[in-house]
Structure 1
Amino acid sequence: MLSDNARGALLMMAGMAAFTLSDSFMKLLGQELPMFQTLVWRGLAVSAVLGLWAWRAGAFRVVLTGHDRRLIVLRALFDTASVWFFLQALYHTPIANLTAIMQALPLTVTLGAALFLGEAVGWKRLAAIGVGFLGVLLIVRPEAGGFDVYALYALICVVVVTARDLLTRRMTKAIPSLLVALVNAVFVTVFGAVGMLSETVQLPSPQAALLLCGTSLAIVGGYLMTVMAVRTGELAVVTPFRYVGLIWALIVGFFLFREWPDMLTQLGAGLIVATGLFTFYRERVTARKARARALR
């Protein structure tokens, strides 16, 4: 029989696979449908599922303060902006490269928490963050001809998602995660509906409809499995398995898009993952020492 930590790890790996599938379907849809219409169709499906899920979980009965509402709306705005930058990069960048760049998020969030939230970050974690940023530079290579506006969009996406996650840290625990996810989905759907005004409306082809169903199911499944993962296993054990998403992206990129990163990109990705794991390890050590001091 599997332990809770083993089940949590498997759920996290499955969740990362689902998110990678969702991104892959969106990349394929970029060849079939205009982007804003894709966001509307997917957003309607995701919002309906999350809305029903939140209603059944009683998320709408939670009384929120004005401060919480402002944080939820502001987070949704940042999340909507990140979707636009991410999709622009996804449509024009190898999926493994983009996924590798996004793996820098634990590093940027750690740095942002130190700068803006006053969280303590020692020199070892700061050094790891610096090495991780070097890994990002190896992937985007600003001095090389391969650096273009879409690589810049990927970097902007990291910054925007970092701001979104820092806002999340300021939310009270009373705010249901399902409610936050639903508000995000609604904001992205509305954003897509406004953007549709600049596009020629077309009905999805049968192939596009299948891809839309696939990306909608995958993104909801990914959210469900990652939530189940952190609730099933210990956070310290389960969280590092998020990096498996890079492996899934390599597999999907190779078999679906015939993409494979070069050696420098692989080295950069390795540096990002290694420093991210080290940073997470140092956070565990710091938390353990803090608990030990509290017990004295």
Structure 2
Amino acid sequence: MMAVAMAGFSMNDATTKYLTVDMNFGQVMLVRGSLSIVLVFALAWYQRALRPVSVLFKLPVALRVCGEIGGTATFLAAITHLPLANVSAIFQSLSLAITLGAALIFGEPVGWRRWLAIVAGFVGVLIVVRPGAEGFNQFTVLALISVCFCVVRDLATSRIPKEVPSVFVTLLTTFVVTIVGGCLIVPLGGWTPMSGRSMSFLLVAAVLVLIGYQCVIIALRAGEISAVAPFRYTQLLWAMGLGYLIFGDVPDAAMIVGAAVIVGSGLYAFHRERIRNREMLVAAKASAPPTEGV
């Protein structure tokens, strides 16, 4: 399910990047979001997951929505001007950034090995973005800012009360992001008349986003996070393949080396997390009082 989700997200990114040749990304956010709202609302209604809109004013939900708005806008601006694989490689550091954020904000324990993995991952990011090099520009910075927004989004998501259905949070987020997209159309150059072909692509993108979100939820609820999370890195393979086939982008040596460092660091961090969880489980069982037989 996680691998399917990454394929869906990657194809959505490629579709969106393709469409931004003819229209600004604010228009893409508005139209794609409008189509997504219909699909997500139908799913929420079917699952009886609709709740009062006042849920939006719960702090974790509001922070998640703000993080999604900033993350989506900056991400779309980045992929409009950068190769898909480069942006995807930068985004592979998200799991390490979340671990860092959880340690700094929530005080979650992080051992020295995972700290080294985090540092190595960010070194990999520097290799990809190459500060000071000719290929480094404001859109590379936007990709990095997008990662920061997504860290806020995911950390806030972990604090949303369990009684709030995931699909309803997705519906609220989609609704607000769509409105923001509509507000960005004029500053980004105005509305561009759309063909039936463009509408079809946007409908496909909306469906792919919905599939991606639901598959992620299924994967995270069905298996251990440390077991399924490494499959997120398959998104990089999809991004490289789609970038080459559709846009003719060929990753250079620095991008491949940086991506390898990021992925390797992330996999090691997941490995250490799994070991830590196993040790905590063994310690908890050892300290539990023995139960008497009946």
Q: State the TM-score, normalizing by the size of structure 2.
A: 0.92
Deviations 1:258-288 (A, max 9, x none): 1111111101000100110111111111111
User: Runs of at least 4 residues of structure 1 off by over 4 A?
Assistant: 61-66
The answer to whether the 8 Å contact 1:62/1:175 transfers is no
Deviations 1:108-152 (A, max 9, x none): 000111001000001100001111111000000002111100000
Q: Distance in 2 between matches of 1:82 and 1:61?
A: 25
Q: Distance in 2 between matches of 1:109 and 1:259?
A: 29
Question: How far off its partner does 1:175 sit?
Answer: 2.0
The answer to whether the 8 Å contact 2:93/2:262 transfers is yes
2:18 to 16, 24, 28: 28
2:267 aligned with 1:277: yes
Partner of 1:201: 191
> Which amino acid counterpart does residue 179 of structure 1 have in structure 2?
F
Question: How far off its partner does 1:64 sit?
Answer: 7.9
Partner of 1:168: 157
Partner of 1:156: 145
Q: Distance in 2 between matches of 1:230 and 1:293?
A: 24
1:188 to 177, 199, 203: 177
> Which amino acid counterpart does residue 121 of structure 1 have in structure 2?
V
2:116 aligned with 1:134: no
1:82 to 48, 66, 71: 71
Partner of 1:8: none
The answer to which of 31-40 and 257-266 deviates more is 31-40
Question: How far off its partner does 1:257 sit?
Answer: 0.7
2:108 aligned with 1:143: no
The answer to whether the 8 Å contact 2:117/2:268 transfers is yes
Partner of 2:289: none
Q: Distance in 1 between matches of 2:194 and 2:97?
A: 38
Q: Distance in 2 between matches of 1:44 and 1:90?
A: 21
The answer to whether the 8 Å contact 1:19/1:222 transfers is yes
> Which amino acid counterpart does residue 264 of structure 2 have in structure 1?
A
Stretches of structure 1 lacking an aligned partner (at least 5 in a row): 1-10
Partner of 1:295: 285
Question: How far off its partner does 1:74 sit?
Answer: 2.1
The answer to whether the 8 Å contact 2:6/2:232 transfers is yes
Q: Alpha carbons of 1:93 and 1:236: their partners in 2 closer, same or farther (altered >3 Å)?
A: same
The answer to whether the 8 Å contact 2:226/2:273 transfers is no
The answer to whether the 8 Å contact 2:92/2:233 transfers is yes
Within a 5 Å distance, the mapping from 1:46-125 to structure 2 comes to 46-61=36-51, 69-125=58-114
Question: How far off its partner does 1:61 sit?
Answer: 4.7
> Which amino acid counterpart does residue 20 of structure 2 have in structure 1?
G
Q: 3-state DSSP class of the match of 1:59?
A: coil
2:214 to 215, 218, 224: 224
Q: Distance in 2 between matches of 1:135 and 1:106?
A: 13
> Which amino acid counterpart does residue 160 of structure 2 have in structure 1?
M
Q: Distance in 1 between matches of 2:52 and 2:223?
A: 26
> Which amino acid counterpart does residue 70 of structure 2 have in structure 1?
A
Q: Distance in 2 between matches of 1:61 and 1:207?
A: 35
Stretches of structure 2 lacking an aligned partner (at least 5 in a row): 287-294
The answer to whether the 8 Å contact 1:73/1:183 transfers is no
The answer to whether the 8 Å contact 1:101/1:139 transfers is yes
The answer to whether the 8 Å contact 1:33/1:208 transfers is no
Identity score, percent: 36
Q: 3-state DSSP class of the match of 1:278?
A: helix
2:250 aligned with 1:260: yes
> Which amino acid counterpart does residue 153 of structure 1 have in structure 2?
L
Q: Distance in 2 between matches of 1:61 and 1:147?
A: 45
Q: Distance in 2 between matches of 1:142 and 1:65?
A: 41
The answer to whether the 8 Å contact 1:103/1:243 transfers is yes
